[in-house]
Chains A and B, each alone.
Chain A
Amino acid sequence: MEVDDRFVVVTLIEGEVYCIEDLCTHDGGTLGDGEVEGNCIACPRHGAKFDLRTGNALTMPATEATLSHEVKVEDGKVFVQLAN
């Protein structure tokens, strides 16, 4: 999903909407096409897993968190505050 020229992954987990940067911190590739399992998404290239709620890197080869963005839901619309 594109927000202000940047790509993000938006997910609904147990009734809560979360948004993280669509970027694997391991090789700079995209996460969006990765498989989602529970609270994590696995990078389709090398399998690094990230927490969809916090952006934290959970497994190698990623060691750094990807950005997590603030989300607000109003009248069924999702608003994202992009982090820098």
Chain B
Amino acid sequence: MSAVADQNVGLGKFDRHGFDDFLAKRIDPTWLSDARKAAYAEFETMGWPNPRSENWMRSDLRGFRIEKYSIAHETETQTKLDAPVHLLEGVEIAGSVRSANGIVISEELDESLKAKGVLFGSLSRLSREKPELVKKYLHTLIDSSADRFAALQVAMWSDGYLLYVPRNVIIEKPLHIHASMTEGGSDLSHTLVILEEGAEATVLTECSSVTEQGSGMFCGGVELILGARSNLRDVSLQDWGQKVWHFAHKRASVGQDATLQWTLAAMGSRFAQVDQQVEMVAPGARSFVNGVMFTRDRQHLTYNTIQRHCAPHCTSDFLYKSVLQDRSRTVWRGMIKVDEGADKTDGYQRNDNLMLSDAARADSIPGLEIKADDVRCTHGSTSGRVDEELIFYARSRGFTRQEAILMIVTGFFQQIFDRITIESVREALGKAIARQVRQYE
């Protein structure tokens, strides 16, 4: 594989001219073009998020300039990239999809799964080949009017990934998605996962830039739709370059007696704002979400999470843990929403923050909004510094400061590792965390 030069030369910008050109170059079904046009009209009329609004008041977008980035076109991004891959070590997979700047460049899926009706590959391609399926589910969970980034994503998603698992089909081995970005590139990909009744799958997604200091923009969407009694394990590792702006809307809908295990790890990017919502839409739905954030330098990562209980007898359990170095900042704002009638809800959310420097800052804002009578909803948050005595003790036993900190950080994240059932993912996350620990003198 070879790295590519700047692929953005000569491509359109994120403006009306660029959008018209983008649309003209695509071969989309009419319903999709119409949806794009409607969302772009919203994008044009909306302003960037108001810094006084609750979701954005702790975010500083002043350094973000969309005019610096260009649209990646399906026909123009075809070369594979040398961006690192971490989640594949020691894993036997059932299929893989790779993308560059949000455009799929390779697709593989076991023949036995194809025979069972499983679809896994480019969302653009499958929206042409399976229009009825994609039309039924695409952007049913993400609302383009949520904010300007959502409108942009709905209007101009470049490509992305579709996984469709038919009724009662169980995929034993994981499926792997790798998104890579060139220097200064943009990625507006969309992930759509549909599990029909009784289906099971594991999806490992990772994104990385060609260089550790890489810049660029990601504006993506994720929709996970779980039918009754289905079971999805989804792991995503965000490891973009240190100058990437990352905006994402992630949504999941969990059906009757279905189970979602969702792990999100964020190590990269200069700035990230992720709005995540999991809806338990039918009785017996269960969702377990694990979040790992490990920041350094001046990174600023924000996660706004909502666990919404729309039906009775559902369970949700969100655990987010952050470790902060240098002058980095994390914001976690979690909300458990329980609708009227969603009795016997069991909702839990927790955020723990470990500060490795005086200048780091973690904002933790848990919340509850309960409209039902008979529920159990609890939340908790902790923030604190590493005990210097622990580090001193480890150093007195022959460890370096860096090794001592890595041990403490690994121990802090252990609770999350214990909740991850896939061994290779635990190992890959452990390695990603070790890479993130900075050198101490």
Question: Quick check: is A5 within 8 A (CB to CB) of the other chain?
Answer: yes
Which one of A2, A5, A28 lies within 8 Å of B58 (CB-CB)?
A28
The answer for the CA separation of A2 and B63 in the assembled complex, in Å, is 8
**Interchain nearest-CB distance for B270 vs A (Å):** 8
Known: A28-B58, A28-B329. A5 touches B63 (CB 8 A): yes
**Interchain nearest-CB distance for A21 vs B (Å):** 10
- Which B36-63 residues sit within 8 Å CB-CB of chain A? 57-58, 60, 62-63
Which one of B62, B361, B363 lies within 8 Å of A30 (CB-CB)?
B62
Q: Give per-residue flags for B339-375: 1 if the beta carbon is below 8 A from chain A beta carbons, else 0.
A: 0000000000000000000000101000000000000
Establish whether residues B361 and A28, one from each chain, have CB atoms under 8 Å apart when the complex forms: yes
Establish whether residues B63 and A7, one from each chain, have CB atoms under 8 Å apart when the complex forms: yes
Establish whether residues A30 and B60, one from each chain, have CB atoms under 8 Å apart when the complex forms: yes
Residues of B within 8 A of A2 (CB): 62-63
Establish whether residues B363 and A28, one from each chain, have CB atoms under 8 Å apart when the complex forms: yes
Residues of B within 8 A of A5 (CB): 63, 243, 270
Which residue of B has the minimal Cβ distance to A7? Answer: B62
Q: Give per-residue flags for A28-39: 1 if the beta carbon is below 8 A from chain B beta carbons, else 0.
A: 111000000000
**Interchain nearest-CB distance for A66 vs B (Å):** 11
Residues of A within 8 A of B363 (CB): 28
Residues of A within 8 A of B361 (CB): 28
**Interchain nearest-CB distance for A33 vs B (Å):** 10
Q: Give per-residue flags for A42-84: 1 if the beta carbon is below 8 A from chain B beta carbons, else 0.
A: 0000000000000000000000000000000000000000001
The answer for the CA separation of A15 and B209 in the assembled complex, in Å, is 46
Interface centre among A6, A28, A29, by most chain B C-beta atoms within 10 angstroms, is A28
Q: Which residues of B contact A (CB under 8 A)?
A: 57-58, 60, 62-63, 243, 270, 298, 327, 329, 361, 363
What are 19 of the A-B contact pairs (CB < 8 Å)? A2-B62, A2-B63, A5-B63, A5-B243, A5-B270, A6-B298, A7-B60, A7-B62, A7-B63, A27-B58, A28-B58, A28-B329, A28-B361, A28-B363, A29-B57, A29-B58, A30-B60, A30-B62, A84-B327
Return the 7 tightest CB-CB contacts between A and B, nearest first.
Answer: A5-B63, A28-B361, A7-B62, A28-B58, A28-B329, A30-B60, A2-B63
